[in-house]
Structure 1
Amino acid sequence: MAELAEAAGITVRTLRFYRERGLIPPPRREGRIAWYDERHLARLRTIAALLERGHTLTGIADLTTAFESGRDVGEVLELGTPTEEEPVRLTPGELADHFDGEVTPENLAAALDLGYLATDGEEIVHVSRRLLDVSAALVREGVPLAEVLKAGARVREHADALAELFAEALGPHVRGGDLNRLRPLAKSVVDAELSLALDRRLRPGDA
C-alpha cells in the first residue's frame, strides 16, 4: 500500500480512505501480503484527474459503479462482421473533457445502456468516433447531454427499422445475396431523405 501511495503521489491514509469508499478495487492477496498493480495506479490517476475537473468523491464513486456495471467491450463490439465505425478508447478524464460538466452517473448509465460506451479494464470504449464527435458538438451547441442521449435512443429505433426494411424488402433481390452490397445505397437513400425532411421542417416561416 505504501508503494502504491508513493507512486500515485498520495498518502497511505488517503489511499486507505479511497479503498474504504470503494473507489479502487481490492488488492490481490497472498497470505498477509496485499498486491496492487498497474490497474490500481491507473484508477488513482483517474481519480486525481476527475478531482481536478471538479468532480466530487461521491460523484466519482457513482461513476465507478456505473463503469463496473456496464457492458464489457467484447459484448458491445462483437458484431460478427466488420463495421465501418471506428471505436475510440478513452480514459474517464478524456471522456469528461469531451463533455465538460455533463458526464454524470445518470448520463453515463444511459450511454452504457444505449451501447455507445463499453468498458475494457480501466479504459472506456466509445463504439463510434463519428457519434462521439457529433454528441460532443451538440453539447457545445448548448444541447444537454441527457437530451442528446434520448434523441440517440429514438434515432436508434428508426435506424433499426430502416435496416430491417432494406434487408427484408430489397435483400432477396441483391445478386449473390450479399447484403453488404446494399450498405452504400441504403446510406445514400437515408441521407437524401433526411436532407429533404430537414428542408421541409426548417423552411423559412416554419420555426
Structure 2
Amino acid sequence: MPNTPPPVPPLPADSGDPASITPRNEYTVDELARVTDTTVRNVRAYQDRGLLAPPEKRGRVGVYDDTHASRLKLINHLLARGYTLANIQDLIMAVDEGHDLRSILGLETAIGGRWSRERPKKYSLIELLQMFGDKASPSALGKAVDLGLLERHGLSFVSGSPTALAAGATMAKEGIPLADLLDAVGIARPHFNAVAKALVDLVVRQLDRYDADALPPPADVPALVDAIWRVRPLAMVLVESEMNRALEEASGDYLGDRVAAIMAKKLGHPAESTTASKKKDKTKK
C-alpha cells in the first residue's frame, strides 16, 4: 500500500451567502502569530510574498480572522513536509486555479515518495562492532558514511536500509573483506543510478501528455496518481528480474571458469572456459 500523506489542513471556503457565514474569530497580528505558532515577522513575510491575504484595516490596526489562521497552519504544515516557500506559493496558486490540494500532494507522494518500506534504524558503535567484528574499522565506517550507507548521529549511526546492512555484515562474516564490499558498492552505484533514472522516467512519463510547466487538469489527477502507484511495483519487478539474470550470467562466467580450471588441474587435462564455450555455441548457431 502506498504511503498515505499526513492530513492537510483545509483551505477555508466561503459560500458567498452572508447568512451562511459563521462568525469568525478576529486577531491582531500578535494574536495571530501566537495561535498559529509562528512569529509576527513570518506573518508579514508571507503577506509580502502573496501567501497570506492582507488584514482588514480598521483605522491604524490590521485585523486578521480565521481564514488567515487556517492559511498559516497550512503553510506551517507544508514547511514541515520539506516544501520551500516558493513551492508553497506554486501550490496555493494551483489551488486558486481549481486544484484540490490533497490530490496535488498525492501526486507529489506518488512520484517522489520513498520506494522502500524499510524504516531507518539507529545503531550504536557497539552494535556495529557486534555485527561486523573487527572489520568495522574507522576507515570502513568512514567509507560507509561517504557512500550514504550510514549517517552519523552524534555517537550513533543511522542506516536507511537495515536489511542491506545486515546482508553486508553476513557477507563480511563469510570472509569477504569489508573494504572490497564497499568498493563494489561504489563501483555499482553509477549503474544503479542509471537504471533508476530509466525507470523513474517511465513513471514520470505519465505526465508527458500535459504541458511541462503546468499541473494536469484537476479531474485527471486522481486517476494519474493511481496509475503511477500501479507502475511503481512493476518497475521493481523489472529491476529484480534483470538483476537476477545479470548475476546468473556473471557467476556462470567467473565462478564457472574458476571451478572448471580447478577440476581440469585435478583431472590432468585442459579445461575450456565457460565464456569460451558460450562463444562457440553462438558461432555454431
TM-score normalized with structure 2 length: 0.41
Structure-1 residue corresponding to 2:169: 136
1:157 Cα deviation from its structure 2 partner? 1.7
Residue type of the alignment partner of 2:127: E
- 2:117 equivalent to 1:84: yes
Give the percent of matched residue pairs that are identical in Structure 1 and Structure 2.
31
Paired position in structure 1 for 2:224: 176
Q: For the aligned residues, what is the CA RMSD? A: 2.6
Q: 2:158 aligns with which of 125, 128, 139?
A: 125
Q: Which amino acid aligns with 2:117?
A: E
Q: Indicate the SS of the match to 1:101.
A: helix
Q: For 1:45-84, list aligned pairs within 5 A.
A: 81-82=113-114, 83-84=116-117
Q: List alignment gaps of at least 5 residues for structure 2.
A: 1-81, 83-111, 208-222, 259-285
**2:168 aligned with 1:155, yes or no?**
no
In structure 1, which of residues 167, 170, 173 is the aligned counterpart of residue 200 of structure 2?
A: 167
Change (3 A) 1:195 1:120: same
Task: Please give the alpha-carbon distance, in whole angstroms, between the structure 2 residues aligned to 1:126 and 1:182.
Answer: 27
C-alpha deviation, 1:201, in angstroms: 2.4
| Largest Rg, 1 or 2 | 2
1:115-154: CA deviations, max 9, x gaps?
1111223321111111111100110111111111111122
Whole-Å separation in 2 of the counterparts to 1:92 and 1:202: 34
- Partner Cα distance (2:251, 2:135) in 1: 28
Q: CA deviation at 1:169?
A: 4.0
Query: Tell me, what secondary structure is at the counterpart of 2:140?
Result: helix
Alpha-carbon distance, 1:86 to partner:
2.3
With over 3 angstroms needed to count, the CA separation of the structure-2 counterparts of 1:85 and 1:152, relative to structure 1, is: farther
Return the TM-score normalized by structure 1: 0.55
Q: Matched residues in 1 for 2:256 and 2:140: separation?
A: 35
Decide whether aligned partners of structure 1 residues 151 and 183 sit closer, same or farther in structure 2, where only a CA change above 3 A counts. Answer: farther
Q: How far has the Cα of 1:85 moved from its partner?
A: 2.5
Distance in 2, Cα, partners of 1:134 & 1:183 = 24
Residue pair 2:199, 2:235 contacting (<8 A) in 1 also:
yes
AA aligned opposite 2:241: A
Please report how far the alpha carbon of residue 89 of structure 1 lies from its aligned counterpart in structure 2 after TM superposition.
Answer: 1.1
State how many pairs are aligned. Answer: 130
| Letter aligned with residue 138 of structure 1 | M
Call closer, same or farther: CA 1:157–1:179 in 2, change over 3 Å: farther
Residue 19 of structure 1 corresponds to none
Q: CA deviation at 1:179?
A: 4.5
Q: Distance in 2 between matches of 1:144 and 1:129?
A: 19
4+ residue runs of structure 1 moved beyond 4 angstroms? 177-180
Match of 1:206 in 2: 257
* Structure 1: runs of 5+ lacking an equivalent: 1-77
Alignment equivalent of 2:246, drawn from 197, 202, 206? 197
Residue of structure 2 equivalent to 1:187:
236
> 2: distance between equivalents of 1:173 and 1:84?
23
Q: Spell out, residue by residue over 1:137-193, the C-alpha distance to the aligned partner (whole angstroms, 9 max, x if none).
A: 110111111111111122322221111101224531476166454331122111111
Change (3 A) 1:91 1:192: same
